[in-house]
Structure 1
């Protein structure tokens, strides 16, 4: 049920419906709590005929998939982007951070690579290794039971490898490598780089009656019409509603602030209804923020009162600080042995079938934290603008390539599937001088003050990126491939701009000391015991893994704690 306004008091109000918000909604509602989910975007169900884009051809779009209002293409299941009309953000001079906002039920989980990795024991205590950043106030053993629960509830394929800082879980059978991935395996092993089956939250076998099994169309980014891949709406919120969970959905609702009483405790939230552009309030015993690391920080910083003059939860002054995103760099290569391929369907899942976890000891390198490598290529459906750079191909194959008519068509067929690539995704050191704050002079179209960012890469990340590119080239040469273009020579060594990997965390970091952190180990505000943050904000460090699985595990852990504290009448 979608509601525009209500005067009743909820047991818990959840702001945001992605990984953290979706998990909290499921756990809290199934424990009998009356829940409101407040989402800035519209309702979304990839199985609904009017919203389904899976299996549509590019020519079914009037724009052929290009120039659309969606950041990743017309048919992609991502409403929002780095730039949204009417919702600006600003940057400090000389710095850059690109902030991705998702505006839809399920949030960013509708479009992501489904790479579902646990943080390892070292990832929670990395300061003990290199002296940088801070340790988490919790350990892997504290989170492991919840990783196990998430594996079993949602499903993830992979294999048990017994690697020290790459914890194994409960895995479904992984798909076999595709041809370009077999070439990658061959080259990586020659370069002494390990390769293991990927770990993606896509069902390769049935786990319950609510969800189907992957049929290998390779279009997870469009939202799965049989719910075989993980998205928060289809795998958490919809099943919770089906199981009797009391959940009211407030969509198209932009939260302005958390409201508080004279004691400084939360009483609910204030939001703007995008349809009638009026402001409403909801009342709740507990407020759970899951609006993304920067989105939740923005709400809290805008929640000013006599009791919280610098923003709710910001008595320490560290709200918004220690913002950090994964590093990212990529390179592609031409594989002559893959020319003149037989064309057949090898779509597979919507993502990589194999990947390389971090394999080296940073104490023997000139940068402190590691990265993993993701592989892409193959015979997927050509996207808008598909083709090749004829000049580069002329040099590579030693003769004229391309042209017009049948010759162009024949050359495209000969080279189709012969280009592949590698992307590195690494850990950035959390720094106090990378932050977001409220811009005192700018508001969005709803009249809500916006964020201003200050972010730069350090030499740690630049040296890591150089190592990535050296490794890419070593593997390409070992597999008989020719790298395309030149190795980056810019000051950042080809790093994607901060925010472009969409893994930002750290703005409401957890810690034992209220003077240096925003939340405690249960993601509970030090300054207001009935407010919790269950997105990536409480992360102390990122690790060289994607954050979603850890957001899910910590949200479940926090939700259990909320239920316990409500029973004990502590909140």
Structure 2
């Protein structure tokens, strides 16, 4: 097969890769997008199928972790023939989507902006590192990204939770009854409950229709209301006639020319096993945090083992994920309420943003970074049937009364990078294509444990103020903490910085060691704010692609 050449080769079709391709094709550049997984068309999404009609009533299975109808079918925590390793004492779960559109097909769509403190955490508390960009620099890119993506929410003027520009946000959905109940209860403790921000349309955008509140977003959205790159950025880039997409293309190495610049990539056709090459004036790696690190670590420069773009020694280091733990409670005030459809937008309408920045700055907390609550409720089965006794009609009546009386509380918190959390190439393990596999090292610290303890206490205070009772008492922080990678927010393995001695890329995601090699995914994160990362990945990718387009026009690439 002849080797084709493009202005840009983009590896990955998720949030960062699709945004880069969208920007570059609109600027007139020819782009090849390589996706390791299968082709996927959301128009075929089983949006309105009943889970009761699915095998095993739609529950998760080893090959479909999030249920029978989830958009991700070929990917997951464990992919046959594509293993990864964990160092002794490490528990880490690595999610791979393996489909066109990547994780954007099944994510929660929570889209919170990072704020001024999040971009300069070291300046604020002396831990970790600062980003080489500020919130003020990123604000216009957030506005542009939110406008294209479509994000509902409002501007509550809260500390370190920045407002969007005028007219950018869509109107948020109406709060549901249990959310109003939560808002009233938390309000007694001066804890804010405000409209969430989610990448779900409540007004039309281009060819995408607003949400009609009847399907689970994780199944994929044929009408384009719930944002995914397969209904927006990718088809729009294709419409320019400048984008070529190849699926089942397993990239494993960056090709360098004699001058040490990126000339393209090598990939394996997953269906045939054939080795292929793609050439480009610029290469953008947006394969996901772990996969991007793996490609760079597997690219040997002059036979050396440290990988490509690793003169700082930071490649694979600084691995972070979101802090996660869960509690649930039952509230007598919600029992027996009238039944009606309160499914809503199948995700957050309201949430609890971090509210203790002043107390944290004053040293009144024993952890340095923030967290937020994601909450869930509605007419679901009771969270704990253990308290129900008896049989027959009486038991059924008590169970029916309990429906809709449970609220779930989830922490999403910031992890501070630590030396024991990183990934590297395993010396022995390879996948079915012969590509050396990743080995993960991961561990939480006292910072994250103290945060979970605070979440537990605060949740108990909120539940008490609402007249409820926890369904189970809180576990110790070590037992409550979700495994590394389990929240699917891993970032940081090729962080950006202002000094090439301590970072892998410059502020535009350009590798210090290779002038025409860029990183466009969560690998570049210098810190992991408690805000979900996808919106920031897209905003950074848009800014980076604008920089690349300018260089292409000037003939610098």
TM-score range, shorter chain: over 0.9
Structure-2 separation of matches of 1:37 and 1:543: 29
User: Does 2:429 align with 1:436?
Assistant: no
State the shift of 1:493 in Å.
5.3
Moved more, 304-313 or 258-267: 304-313
Check whether the contact 2:17–2:285 (CA below 8 A) recurs between aligned residues.
yes
Aligned match for 1:130, one of 125, 128, 148: 125
Instruction: Give yes or no for contact 2:383–2:406 (8 Å, CA) kept in 1.
Output: no
- Structure 2 counterpart of 1:154: 149
Is it true that 1:559 corresponds to 2:545 in the alignment? Answer: yes
Which SS does the other structure have where 2:57 is aligned? coil
| Alpha-carbon distance between aligned partners in 2 of 1:330 and 1:67, rounded to the nearest angstrom | 19
Q: What residue in structure 1 maps to residue 94 of structure 2?
A: 99
Alignment of structure 1 residues 291-440 onto 2, 5 Å: 291-306=287-302, 309-361=305-357, 362=360, 363-379=363-379, 389-391=384-386, 393-394=387-388, 400=389, 403=391, 409-440=396-427
- How far off its partner does 1:66 sit? 2.2
Displacement of 1:409:
4.3
1:39-54 equivalences in 2 (<5 Å)? 39-48=35-44, 52-54=45-47
Residues 204-255 of structure 1, C-alpha deviations (whole Å, 9 max, x = no match): 11132x101100114111111100011112121112223x241111111211
Question: 1:139–1:6: structure 2 CA closer, same or farther, 3 Å change rule?
Answer: farther
How far did residue 412 of structure 1 move?
A: 3.4
Aligned to 1:570: 556
1:383 — aligned with what?
none
The equivalent residue for 1:220 is 217
Residues of 1 paired with 2:68 and 2:410: CA distance? Answer: 24
Q: Deviations over 1:316-368 (max 9, x none)?
A: 11100001001011100111122223221111002111011110032321111
Alignment of 1:116-195 (within 5 A): 116-169=111-164, 170-195=168-193
Q: What is the distance in 2 between the residues matched to 1:429 and 1:15?
A: 28
What residue is the counterpart of 2:199 in the other structure?
A: 201
Aligned counterparts of 1:303 and 1:30: Cα–Cα separation in 2: 31
Shift in Å at residue 390 of structure 1?
3.1
> Please, which runs of 5 or more residues in structure 2 have no aligned partner?
none
Q: Contact 2:382/2:406 (CA < 8 Å) preserved in 1?
A: no
The count of aligned residue pairs is 548
What secondary structure does 1:157 align onto? Answer: coil
Residue 63 of structure 1 deviates from its aligned partner by 2.5
Unaligned runs of 5+ in 1: 381-385, 395-399
Q: 1:26 aligns with which of 22, 46, 59?
A: 22
More displaced stretch, 228-237 vs 517-526: 228-237
Checking the alignment, whether the CA contact within 8 Å between 2:113 and 2:536 is kept in structure 1 is yes
Aligned residues of 2:48 and 2:215 also touching (Cα < 8 A): no
Task: Tell me the SS of whatever aligns to 1:20.
Answer: helix
In structure 2, how many angstroms separate the alpha carbons of the residues matched to 1:514 and 1:309?
19
The aligned residue for residue 66 of structure 2 is 72
Which residue, 489, 497, 500 being the options, matches 1:503? 489
SS at match of 1:13: strand
Q: Does the alignment pair 1:467 with 2:454?
A: yes
Three-state SS of the structure 2 residue aligned to 1:141 is helix
Alpha-carbon distance, 1:407 to partner:
5.2
Q: Alpha-carbon deviation of 1:309? A: 4.7
CA distance in structure 1 between the aligned counterparts of 2:251 and 2:2, rounded to whole angstroms: 15
Contact 1:332 1:422 in 2 (8 A): yes
Aligned to 1:446: 433
Which of 4, 7, 17 is equivalent to 1:8? 4
Q: CA deviation at 1:62?
A: 2.3
CA distance in 2, matches of 1:18, 1:407: 51
Query: Displacement of 1:389 after TM fit?
Result: 4.0
> Aligned residue for 1:233?
230
Q: Is the 8 A contact 2:85 2:439 kept in 1?
A: yes
Between 1:322-331 and 1:308-317, the stretch displaced more is: 308-317
CA distance in 2, matches of 1:287, 1:250: 15
Q: Secondary structure at the match of 1:365?
A: coil
* 2:513 paired residue number: 527
Q: 1:561 to 1:388 in 2, by over 3 A?
A: closer
Runs of 4+ residues over 6 Å off in structure 1: none
- Normalising by structure 2, we get a TM-score of 0.96
Distance 1:519 1:308, change over 3 A: farther
Cα distance in 1 for partners of 2:382, 2:356 equals: 37
Deviations 1:249-277 (A, max 9, x none): 11112111111122221111111111111
Residues 1:88 and 2:83 are matched in the alignment = yes
Q: CA distance change for structure 1 residues 285 and 309 in 2, over 3 Å: closer, same or farther?
A: farther
1:457 aligned partner:
444
The residue that corresponds to 1:397 in the other structure is: none
Q: In the superposition, relative to structure 1, how do residues 522 and 337 fare at CA in structure 2: closer, same or farther (>3 Å)? A: same
Shift of 1:432: 3.1
Instruction: Go from structure 1 to structure 2 and tell me whether the alpha carbon gap of 1:138 and 1:308 turns closer, same or farther (over 3 Å shift).
Output: farther
Distance change in 2, residues 1:299/1:324 (3 Å) = same
In the aligned structure 1, how far is the partner of 2:119 from the partner of 2:218?
30
**Mapped contact 1:118–1:166 kept (Cα < 8 A):** yes
Per the TM alignment, residue 60 of structure 1 is displaced from its structure 2 partner at its CA by 2.5
Report the Cα distance in structure 2 between the residues aligned to 1:260 and 1:419, rounded to whole angstroms. 57
1:415 Cα offset (Å): 1.6
Change (3 A) 1:6 1:417: farther
Given the alignment of the two structures, is residue 59 of structure 1 paired with residue 57 of structure 2, yes or no? no
TM-score, normalised by the number of residues in structure 1: 0.93
